Amino acid sequence: MNLALSTTLQTTFADAVEKTRTALQEQGFGVLTEIDMQATLRAGRPRHISRRSPRRAAP
């Protein structure tokens, strides 16, 4: 079974985040943690490996 929800907002990202936080608070929920995915991915990629490194076949 596949299920997906999506929506398009006509606002800025910062405004959408603020509205989401407010809506969560109104329902008794909140944000426990935030992860900067760009920084996390940047930190996890070894600098000596190029983005387009060729793959070699196993012997």
Query: Which pLDDT score, from 0 to 100, does residue 47 have?
Result: 62
For 39-53, letters b (16+ CB in 10 Å) and e give eeeeeeeeeeeeeee
CB 16 within 8 A of CB 9: yes
- Six token digits for residue 55: 């793959």
User: Distance (Å, rounded) from C-alpha 13 to C-alpha 10?
Assistant: 9
Model pTM? 0.53
User: E strands along 1-59, which residues?
Assistant: none
- Six token digits for residue 28: 């008794």
The tens place of each residue's pLDDT in the chain, 59 residues long, gives: 899 999 898 999 899 999 999 999 999 999 899 888 888 888 876 665 555 555 555 55
